[in-house]
Structure 1
Amino acid sequence: MASRHNTPSEGATQQKIIDAALVLFAEYGIDGVPVRALTSHAGVNVAAIHYHFGGMEAVAEAVFSELSARINKTRTSKLEEILARAKAKRKKPNVTEIVLAFIEPYVDDNATTEGQLLAQLIVKHRLSPSPMTEQVIKKHFDPMAKQFVAALHEAIPSVPLSQMYWRYMLLVSTVVLSVSARRGSNRLQRLSEGEADGADLKAMRDALVEFVIGGIRAPHRVTSAP
């Protein structure tokens, strides 16, 4: 997006496009929305996409930035509440509460749209990062990640801080890939012959929490070189 200053009218048009993209990307996927469908939903002309953003890729990046800021602010606020309660009770913070604060934007009852879209955008960034998405990660994800790692380390001090960073990154990968896989074919249902269903958000939430907490709580073992 151009770095020039926008007038209030231009800023309103940009926000209309971002708001429309949030809705359509969540419903049809990042690559499933034609330009004309987006401009029609936003109530702007086709030229507005190029003028304000330069193309659909930049629209996706703007959506990534807005979603990241909003969702991570919610996550860190919940984390701060958890830490404040633990401090008031003079106890270690609860690991399950910390993990839920991280996971819930992806899997709670209101996450079937924005949470899944954020997961798709994170995967897209990992596969083809751009300067813009790198900036979003550094601004909106890195500070949040450090807060969660510190909280998990406070909850389980027996796990070295360096190892907790590994466990946090594995937590992120597990959650993001699981949630983004909900779009498209239901491989989990096929593999399990109907015993498990990737479309069941509550079951996914429960399985993720159980799996992730087990990994985070696992005793740290130092392996010696052969």
Structure 2
Amino acid sequence: MRILEDQHVGTNEEMVRKSLTRTGTIAAALEESLLVGREKEKYDIINLISNQDAHQLTVISVWGMGGLGKTTLVKEVYQSQELSVLFDKRACITVMRPFVLEEVVNSLAMQLDAASSYRKGNFEELAKLLEGKRCLIVLDDLSSIEEWDQLLPKLSKMGNTSQIIVTTREENIAMHCSRKPENIHKLKVLEYKDAFDLFTKKVFKDATNLDNYPGLAEEAKPILKKCNGLPLAIVTIGGFLAKQPKREN
């Protein structure tokens, strides 16, 4: 079996590099990322949040290099049925660049205040509206300690009943936000089996009998080696190969 039929794509390393530099491809890969090999981590974080003191503001940090799937994992946690019943209000935002405090606060307010009675810039007013309500807030892709230090005074005004999840690439930011080691979760690369499962799910979008492709495991090895267990690289390459003609043995 050949993953690519009669098509020269250069070395695997070159293919990974070229695919990951295509903005559209990266966006599509992020949008279509699958939660494979992260089920245990998902439920570990859900349990961590569920077991926190309901009357104490808690920050859970998920950190690791870019492309590991932090956003996908945390959004799965955020949307889980287990947590939806624990919180009165929820908000999930990506911290954009350049960082503008007012824009971040306004984005949070729009999601937290369903009644739309919040006036821009008046976070104290929002805090009063949310008084006594449990809120789950996700701040995705925090890139500096300074950003957190600007946000924390605003978030603290919401009282001690909220839970915050932060994702970041930097360990020092995670430690600064969460303080307690037990609330810091380091995301690692996928094990080979999970990487292979993710790869095949992307290459063969429809249900496929992999027995028809006995050479797939061997052909996938050099590709997955270059991807180094990074879900973003795997789904990007897998998505590219999914569009190519395949030949069964």
TM-score by length of 2: 0.29
- Could you say which structure has the larger radius of gyration? 2
Which structure shows the higher strand fraction? Answer: 2
Which structure shows the higher helix fraction? Answer: 1
Higher relative contact order (CA 8 A, sep 6+): 2
